[in-house]
Amino acid sequence: MEGDSDAYAHTAQVAAAIHPYVHYIHVRLKQKGALELLALTRSMVNLGVPLQKIAVNDRVDVALLTSVGAIQLPANGLPVAAVKSLLSEGTRCGVSVHSLEEAQAAEWAGAHYVLYGHVYETHCKPGVTPRGIAQLKRISRLVSIPVIALGGIQPRHIPELYTAGASGIAVRSGIWEAESPVAAVMAYRRMADRVAHRLHW
């Protein structure tokens, strides 16, 4: 989620509407400071988003102040072990990765999961070649922690992603830029549940 302070109220309202259909809402204000991130996180909580469903990007200070459910670290971010030592029991620590080597390093460091992408073409990264499904499949096979796929994902991609070994998906523009974020998130959730049911049976 990115935007100026005027947009935070709307962002929090959308988060409150979609949270019943997702496991986590990733809070990211890359060009803003800790104060803005803290304000957005608290706005979401005030509107009913459970703390355990919020994942804060990079800012360990905000994660500690709010006791959110997860902290998401960049691959070149703070050491996983050091961050985990500060977190309360039950708080998850994930790492964003772009290669098998980074995924393995995150696992060895004690990350609970990795966020891997971008798998498909996405206008969030114009001109950057997607890393593709083959690399996702390799990473999912060679690390034992969950691998969450990210980047350009539409509901139709979910069968391919789960078959490749992804444990879940992360979506930005497909939901946040949709005409109806709730309708969009429900479409993702229906497909994910259908595929997960098929794979387990």
Active site positions, annotated: 118
Between CA 101 and CA 123, with CA 163 as vertex, the angle to 5 degrees is: 65
